[in-house]
Amino acid sequence: MDGIKYAVFTEKSLRLLGKNQYTFNVESGFTKTEIKHWVKLFFGVKVVVVNSHRLPGKGRRIGPILGHTMHYRRMIITLQPGYSIPLLDREKN
């Protein structure tokens, strides 16, 4: 479960909770199949589809040195009807 950083709560992700879709930020090196496997094992739910997109890192400047933060992936996980992730159910109401 080291790959999943945290659940995301934005306006869009809260709207997707009504469609039984959950949003997580994950490490950029993990694939959709690995995340699907971890969600099945950890939460005990059946996953239908995993959608993902890569979010770019933000630029940072420390004096004359230009740098950037690490980029990460955002996964939108759709569960079968009747299944839910118990820790995030409170956000639906």
Query: Which ranges of 11-87 would DSSP assign to H, the alpha helix?
Result: 11-17, 32-43
Structural domains in the chain, CATH included, are 4-79 (3.30.70.330)
Angle at 7 between CA 25 and CA 13, to 5 degrees: 95
For the whole model, what pTM was predicted? 0.78
What φ, ψ does residue 26 adopt, rounded to 5°?
Answer: -130, 165
28, 54 Cβ separation under 8 angstroms: yes
**Which pLDDT value is given to residue 28?**
82
Kindly give the confidence (pLDDT) of every residue in the chain, 93 residues in length, as a single tens digit, with 9 standing for 90 and above. 677 888 889 999 999 999 999 999 988 888 899 989 988 998 899 999 999 988 887 888 888 988 887 778 899 999 999 998 876 655 455
**pLDDT at residue 21 in the model:** 93
> Which amino acid, 4?
I
Distances from the Cα of 31 to the Cα of 3, 14, 71, angstroms: 10, 24, 15
